Structure 1
Amino acid sequence: MAWDVASVAAELLRCEDERVDRPPFTDEWRELDLDTGYEIQDLNLQARLARGETLVGVKLGLTSKAKQERMGVHVPFVAWLTDAMLLPAGEPVPQSRLIHPRIEPEIVFVMRDRLSGPGVSCATAMAAVDSVWGGAEIIDSRYRNFRFKAGDVAADNASSGVFVAGPVGLPPAGIDLTLEAALVEVNGVIVDSATGAAVQGHPGEALALAANELARRGHALEPGWIVLTGGMTDAVPALPGSSVAVHFTNLGSIFINGGV
């Protein structure tokens, strides 16, 4: 098949809606680069809004070197969050909606001010933040075995699935995000840990990156938006019947039932 922006966008939504995976499009369409992937992502945002979803913020992907090495893609991404991706605390992983979900801890910002690039620095970005939260993103991918290149994953909304916000929000001045740690616990065993320094050196750098990248695409971060800054550790499988917890130093704990 000769793929283009519209046909890839439609195929990704079909895979998401029908819970089927597929090989990456770059196996067949080598011209699918990062900017083309963002065109596809933006087209599917319009499709999501047209079916009644509300834009609530953005997420970043592959902001840690460990995640970049793990996935073999060495560039971070920005993607969209809608209200349909918010999983209320205490709800199990929606296995009926997802293909092969994985869980990763994230530092989450809620914006107070509009933040528009280019030229946004970490300090400027942090000055626009209202509150900082712990979070857990349950990522998913429409690509088999999470195999993709940069254009593929940008098109796929940076492997979006659902996300859970933690119980504690703090003003940004009240927490050292480089030292804020997250422990990942699976079925009662700690399997991974990292600090906020894993995310671009400081999660505020990821926030600045989001503002600058969105400016290149004609957008800005808006007041009230949620920003997921990217996985601090590698993601762990969200298996049916499993129990996963993320414990932050100051931002509380999140407990996730793997569902059925």
Structure 2
Amino acid sequence: MNLQLEKIADNLFMAERNRKPIAPLTQMYPELSVKDAYMVQLEVMSRKVSEGRKVIGKKVGLTSVAMQKMLGVNEPDYGHLFDDMKVEDNSIVKMNELLSPKVEAEIGFILGEDLKGPNITYLDVMMATEYVVPTLEIIDSRIEDWKIQLVDTVADNGSSAKVVTGSQLTKIEGIDLRTVGMVLYKNGEMVATGAGAAALGHPAHAIAWLANKLSEFDITLKAGELILPGALSAALTVQKGDKISAHFGKLGSVSVIFE
């Protein structure tokens, strides 16, 4: 890795640790490529692992057409989930641990088998899935004021911060995840709805994309990992005092409180 990419990794690592955002990378380093950005993400990840943090899963972002159009991209991105990012259902998250959080509701997949690309299909994902679980991803940007383009969010671990998992685990046999509905509530008021098809037509397609993308970096999706396939509606900005809940019909629900 060249010195410039190491410097960017340093800046992002410290921005997260000190909770002080940095200027958009696309402004400071206009020549930065998406591949460079993934190298930065992997460097920050390796530093976290060397400190004793454990990778517990991965997340896919930008799976909706609306988000891709907004950032002017034609493919999703991804990030890593660590053990210290996991939050139990109906727990409290401290706002002072974050910069400018938003919440997305997703159908989380827990793998029963490893998945290694290339050439992973939607059917491979379905066969490798042990359970699905209601999840809320708390996204946050170490880039100032969310002024992000694809390179910014890729380098910044897919803008991921925390993940809240529901308590209900559901086998997927007989369930059409495309048509599973999601209703998102903020302080008891319905604010968004969505369905599984919002994530690349079917959440398993998003996970197949991820397995194949990660094969470029010789990374495997591992049995036991939690994989987030992308949001089912727009990200919701939150403030201190908010309670966010997502209901996924027969898959159950999940909630979190911000203080």
Question: TM-score normalized by structure 1?
Answer: 0.95
Supply the AA of the counterpart residue of 1:87: V
Alignment of 1:58-97 (within 5 A): 58-97=58-97
Further displaced range: 141-150 or 129-138: 141-150
- Judging changes above 3 Å, is the alpha-carbon distance between structure 1 residues 73 and 143 closer, same or farther for their aligned structure 2 residues? farther
**Could you tell me how far 1:75 is from its partner in structure 2?**
2.5
Deviations 1:159-213 (A, max 9, x none): 0100011121111213210011111111221111110000000000011011000
Residue aligning to 1:99: 99
Relative distance call for 1:101 and 1:177 in structure 2 (3 A) is: same
Q: Which amino acid aligns with 1:67?
A: M
Closer, same or farther: CA 170–183 of 1 in aligned 2, 3 Å:
same
Q: Is 1:210 matched up with 2:210?
A: yes
Query: Helix, strand or coil: the match of 2:254?
Result: strand
Which residue number in structure 1 is paired with residue 258 of structure 2?
Answer: 258
Q: In structure 1, how many angstroms separate the alpha carbons of the residues matched to 2:220 and 2:46? A: 16
Matched AA of 2:258: G
Cα pair 1:167 1:251 within 8 Å, conserved: no
Contact 1:200 1:206 in 2 (8 A): yes
How big is the alpha-carbon RMSD for the aligned residues of Structure 1 and Structure 2? 1.5
Q: Percent same amino acid among aligned pairs? A: 31
Does the Cα contact within 8 Å between 2:104 and 2:231 map onto a contact in 1?
yes
What is the alpha-carbon distance in structure 2 between the residues aligned to residue 133 and residue 70 of structure 1?
28
For this pair of structures, how many residues does the alignment match? 258
Displacement of 1:66? 2.6
Contact in 1 for aligned 2:179/2:195 (Cα 8 Å): yes
Measure how far apart 1:37 and its partner are. Answer: 0.6
TM-score by length of 2: 0.95
Find the aligned partners of 2:148 and 2:157 in 1 and give their Cα distance: 12
- Is the 1:17–1:97 contact (alpha carbons within 8 Å) kept by the matching residues of 2? no
| Alignment partner, residue 37 of structure 1 | 37
**1:152 CA drift (Å):** 1.4
Q: Give the Cα separation in 2 of the matches to 1:50 and 1:217.
A: 19
